[in-house]
């Protein structure tokens, strides 16, 4: 009887053990087979974090391959809040290194998250300081940060990119789709105790870097233009200024300088007014520089010839119950002298003879009132009203550069058309797009927009504009050894308080091309609100001369000066 009970107990115990093993085996089967995928995802969520980092952004170089914008690898710092023992202590240690307030860091580190950025794209020195310390739950990954090795040089054209690598202004924004690299995924892993986080690796397929751009800009010419512009603005105690240098035969922009400048490496404290490219966004009344285009239209339409005599009314004429003045009391002068001496009365008379419809047609043909379509963002169209909205004095006013708004880029492009035998070219700043290996993917050829005036008219206007320098208001734009053609401009600005022309605020400018007989450069200098002597011939023309002289020398353009040989004899 006792033996039978003992065997029963053993069988019961055995059955119990078999049931236990069955439960364990079933649980293992459930975990490793039925729930394997789900648990694997949960484990990855607990121990891994995938972060998106931008790929390498394409390089930007000048026409000779000199680097203007590039990427550098810099440290970015992240934390794992749920792996920290003391967020406050960690925040206090990191604050002086990251230059972030302690309370802000503590707030981030107390979040119920497995990953949080603490500081992006630090200076290399900050990264070195972090390397010397050990922080549990804090990690570093390397990211690409945009770097502009020339500082403020060409900043308004290059623009800049944001923290996430997206182009926000200038070429960086306009060519974002070319410059942007592929996004790359970085997998971050922490150990079982949650004490460390480190890069596990990247995706198997290497991210494709962005494409590189070659500009039409010449770094040396840009440097000359910026230096002379800063000097001119400083001398005149002016508000701002612009210099643009074009190749008139192709429309390629060789330099585009705006003052005041800014450093694209440090834009966080600056506002849009500082980085806006005023060379192509801001319109101004051009004043007498518009007389060059009016002259071209009048000669093309055979309204006048250069030697046609015009009566200057001794410097005083009434039109539509308003008085037009000249700074000289001119009598009978040739039309060429009207332009060379910048007579408002003479220009108004010829403009009225041309008529509003023909004047409007040539304004459009020269590109005023419309964008040049340059490959930069933010370009303005200027202001040219339809003739149906003109007043009784509008034809006279527009002929001497009032009642019309132009951008510096529009004006220099129009003058370049005269230099180019009457052909208006489309301005552009990017000449080539290349892949990471340097292979050319796209070349940008010069693009002619239209024939505005005939070559014969262009030659006649060029002779008149040469006289502006030799016998007129632009004497200070002369460049020794070269024939210069150009036009001065001095325009009163509208006083926003009264809505009338100010007697103390002006825009002084000079635009032209050189050498006049075979133009290599078309340039414009615009100085906004110069103090003291505000005439374009006194403020802007000297800067034109200084830029032109240095650029011609740099390019090796030969002058027209005769070579003088000095023979030395040796006494015996």
Q: Indicate which residues carry an active-site annotation.
A: 288
Question: Helices (H), strands (E): how many in the chain?
Answer: 20, 21
Are 359 and 303 a contacting pair, CB within 8 Å? Answer: no
Q: Which own/partner contact pairs does 45-49 have at CB distance under 8 Å and 24+ positions apart?
A: 45/114, 46/114, 47/189, 47/190, 47/191, 47/192, 48/187, 48/188, 48/189, 48/200, 49/80, 49/114, 49/115, 49/187, 49/188, 49/189, 49/197
* Rounded Cα gap, residues 349 and 150, in angstroms: 50
What's the CA gap between 153 and 134, in Å, rounded? 40
Task: Supply φ then ψ for residue 207, to 5 degrees.
Answer: -70, 145
Inter-residue contact 167 to 159 (CB < 8 Å): yes
Q: Report how far residue 409's alpha carbon sits from residue 226's, in angstroms, rounded to the nearest whole number.
A: 16
Point out which residues pair with 311 in neighbouring strands: 332
What number of residues does the chain have? 572
Q: Is 279 helix (H, G, I), strand (E, B) or coil?
A: helix
Alpha carbon distance 434, 392 (integer Å): 55
Q: State how far the Cα of 480 lies from the Cα of 559, in Å rounded to an integer.
A: 8
Residues sharing a CB contact under 8 Å with residue 172, sequence separation 6 or more, in sequence order: 60, 69, 146, 158, 159, 160, 161, 179
114: left (phi over 0), alpha (psi -120 to 50) or beta: alpha
């Amino acid at each position: 009887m006792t033996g039978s009970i003992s065997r029963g107990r053993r069988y019961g115990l055995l059955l119990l053990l078999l049931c236990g093993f069955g439960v364990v085996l079933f649980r293992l089967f459930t975990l490793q087979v039925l729930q394997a995928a789900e648990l694997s995802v949960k484990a990855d969520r607990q121990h891994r974090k995938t972060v998106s980092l931008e790929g390498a952004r394409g390089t930007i170089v000048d026409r000779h391959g000199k680097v203007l914008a590039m990427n550098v690898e810099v440290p970015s710092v992240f934390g794992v809040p749920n792996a920290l023992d003391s967020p406050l202590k960690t925040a206090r240690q990191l604050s002086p290194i990251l230059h972030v307030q302690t309370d802000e860091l503590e707030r981030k580190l107390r979040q119920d998250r497995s990953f949080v950025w603490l500081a992006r794209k630090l200076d290399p020195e900050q990264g070195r300081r972090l390397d010397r310390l050990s922080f549990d739950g804090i990690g570093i990954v390397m990211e690409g940060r945009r770097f502009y090795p020339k500082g403020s040089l060409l900043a308004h054209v290059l623009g800049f990119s944001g923290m996430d690598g997206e182009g926000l202004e200038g070429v960086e924004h306009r060519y974002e789709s070319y410059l942007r690299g592929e996004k790359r995924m970085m997998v971050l892993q922490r150990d079982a105790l949650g004490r460390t986080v480190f890069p596990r690796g990247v995706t198997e397929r290497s991210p494709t870097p962005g494409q590189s751009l070659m500009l039409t800009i010449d770094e040396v010419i840009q440097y000359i233009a910026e230096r002379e512009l800063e000097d001119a603005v400083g001398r005149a105690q002016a508000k701002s200024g612009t210099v643009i240098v074009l190749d008139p035969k192709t429309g390629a922009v060789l330099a585009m300088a705006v003052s005041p400048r800014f450093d694209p490496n440090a834009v966080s404290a600056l506002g849009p007014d500082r980085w806006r490219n005023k060379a192509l966004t801001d319109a101004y009344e051009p004043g007498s520089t518009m007389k060059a285009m009016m002259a071209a239209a009048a000669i093309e339409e055979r309204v006048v010839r250069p030697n046609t005599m015009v009566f200057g009314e001794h410097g005083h004429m009434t039109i539509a119950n308003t008085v037009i003045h000249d700074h000289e009391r001119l009598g009978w002068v040739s039309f060429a002298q009207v332009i060379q001496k910048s007579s408002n009365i003479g220009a108004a008379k010829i403009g009225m003879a041309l008529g509003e419809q023909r004047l409007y047609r040539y304004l459009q043909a020269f590109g005023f009132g419309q964008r040049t379509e340059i490959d930069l963002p933010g370009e303005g169209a200027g202001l040219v009203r339809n003739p149906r909205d003109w007043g009784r004095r509008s034809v006279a006013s527009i002929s001497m550069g009032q009642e019309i708004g132009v951008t510096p880029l529009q004006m220099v492009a129009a003058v370049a058309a005269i230099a180019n035998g009457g052909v208006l070219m489309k301005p552009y700043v990017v000449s080539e797009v290349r892949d990471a290996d340097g292979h050319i993917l796209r070349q940008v050829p010069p693009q002619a927009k239209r024939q505005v005036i005939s070559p014969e008219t262009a030659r006649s206007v060029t002779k008149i504009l040469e006289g502006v320098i030799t016998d007129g208001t632009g004497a200070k734009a002369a460049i020794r050894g070269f024939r210069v053609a150009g036009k001065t401009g001095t325009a009163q600005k509208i006083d926003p308080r009264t809505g009338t022309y100010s007697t103390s605020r002006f825009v002084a400018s000079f635009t032209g091309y050189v050498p006049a007989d075979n133009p290599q450069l078309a340039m414009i200098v615009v100085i906004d609100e110069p103090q003291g002597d505000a005439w374009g011939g006194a403020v802007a023309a000297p800067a034109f001369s200084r830029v032109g002289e240095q650029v011609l020398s740099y390019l090796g353009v030969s002058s027209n000066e005769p070579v003088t040989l000095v023979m030395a004899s040796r006494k015996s």
